[in-house]
Homo-oligomer: A and B are copies of this chain.
């Protein structure tokens, strides 16, 4: 979309309006601006120094934007780290030794997630406010014309028609609005990433829980089968007359019978669970 932006901007402020943009250096190296860099070359019509009030406004706007931009880029790094830490705990599984503390690691990361989310939301509210304030100024031609103090102070009324007067102001504010929009865009990308990660993690946890439960059920099934064996052997261990005390192979008969019964029981229940779509 850089390409796109370049065309549109070129058409609007470069060739046609031939506005004498200010030559103030800006510290926006980190956020990729879509403006062309040739803006600071002297234009043909008027090369007068920019009026005092615009220099002041630009420096203030630049300060606010770079302040927010710096904060946001730091947030982005932290967010990336936390989110990749959370999601990697699921995908890296299967390598072995590190797995034991995956849950604990994840819980630590989740402990950092809440302050992160709150910070991103607050930063986003602030940037929206700044962008909203700039946009409001841009919507009102009168207010923008009124900002050209040096044009008014001399004789009380404004020189020239207001339409032309505020072009410089408009371009200045539009530029910084674009910067704030980019900052907002990256904040919203982070919010989306956080939301997506949370949703997927929740389903993964659900999935893992179901798998744990299936194994729990298998263990309980085995426990039941073993319990049946214990009950039967307990019955033969009662101090009562079972009339087969002296039978030479009854011990093996009972043991063998029990093992067969246990296998049949386990198989039968597993079969039933499979029919009911649980396994």
Contact = CB atoms under 8 A, between A and B. Distances in A.
Interface of A: 1, 3-5, 7-8, 11-12, 15-17, 56-57, 60-61, 63-64, 87, 90-91, 93-94, 96, 99-100, 103-104, 106-107, 110-111, 113-114, 117-118, 121-122, 125-126, 129-130, 133-134, 136-137, 143, 146-147, 149, 152, 185, 188-189, 192-193, 196-217, 219-224, 226-231, 233-248, 250-251, 254-255, 258, 269, 273-274, 276-279
Contact of A223 (B4, B223, B248): B223
How many copies of the shown chain assemble into the complex?
A: 5
A247 to B, nearest CB: 7
B114 A87 contact: yes
19 contacts: A1-B64, A1-B126, A4-B133, A8-B137, A11-B149, A16-B146, A104-B276, A203-B205, A209-B209, A209-B213, A213-B216, A216-B217, A220-B223, A235-B254, A238-B251, A239-B242, A239-B245, A240-B250, A243-B251
Contact of A277 (B93, B133, B192): B93
Contacts of A209: 206, 209-210, 213
A149 B11 CA distance: 9
A269 B218 CA distance: 11
Given A103-B207, A205-B206, A248-B241, A121 B196 contact: yes
Contacts of A223: 219-220, 223-224, 227
